[in-house]
Amino acid sequence: MTKRVLPLLLALLPALPLAGCLSFGGKPPKVLLTINSTATLPVGSTQNSATAKTVTVMVPAVPQSLAVARVPVQTGDQIAYVTNAAWVEAPQRLFARLMSDTIAAKTGRVVLSSAQSFSDPGARLSGELRNFGVDGNTREAVVTFEGSLIRNDASKVEKKKFEARVALARIDANSVGSALNQAANQVAAEVAEWVGS
């Protein structure tokens, strides 16, 4: 038996130095980023569509540069990504959730997802998240949302563009994450005011 095992071990010996180099999947980023609403409903609060208006918040469309988990830095016509940082979830989904929380807290409306809105969608908010990253020329975190709102009268569509910029001392994972959180909350608050008017 040992006569059979020894040649097998000798054959595998050259592969041992490579064992530490094998990786199944990419190297994980050092920092995972998320955003959180600064305006939320208290835990345990109840909302009822029988007594409050409803609004359905759709996940916004995004350009290809945002359809990834990385944070883009645009300088002129070139795009790079912040080193060692990635979103925990697609940025358009994070932003839709932040808008939902902010609208519910600031307007008193019952906010529905597209899956919940099949019987009575109420007003419908959709749009495009045009920027959710860094302007490398001005060293600012930028969030730009172009919203489309259909109020309960389905024959009219209102469109409005929102943008917030927050200055960055450095372009690194920690600075960019908190600046984008601040800019996203500013835009969400303005969207909530528009929806609630």
Model confidence pLDDT, tens digit, residues 140-195: 999 999 999 998 767 799 999 999 999 999 999 989 999 999 999 999 999 999 99
Phi-psi region of 4 (alpha: psi -120 to 50; beta: other; left: phi over 0): alpha
What does pTM read for this prediction? 0.82
pLDDT (mean) for 38-56? 78
Whether residue 141 lies inside any domain: the answer is yes
Average pLDDT over residues 30-46: 85
What's the CATH number where 74 sits?
3.40.50.10610
Residue 51: left if φ>0, alpha if ψ -120 to 50, beta else—which one? Answer: alpha
Q: Is residue 17 part of a domain?
A: no
Q: Is the pLDDT of residue 19 over 50?
A: no
Residue 37 lies in a domain: no
Q: Write down the pLDDT at residue 72.
A: 94
Domain assignment present for 77: yes
As for how many domains the chain has, the answer is 1
Rounded to an integer, what distance in angstroms lies between the CA atom of residue 79 and that of residue 99? 26
* Residue 22 domain flag: no
Range of the domain at 177: 52-196
Q: Looking at residues 33-40, what average pLDDT do you find?
A: 91
85-143 tens-digit pLDDT: 999 999 999 999 999 999 999 998 888 877 666 666 788 999 999 999 999 999 999 99
30-43 average pLDDT score: 88
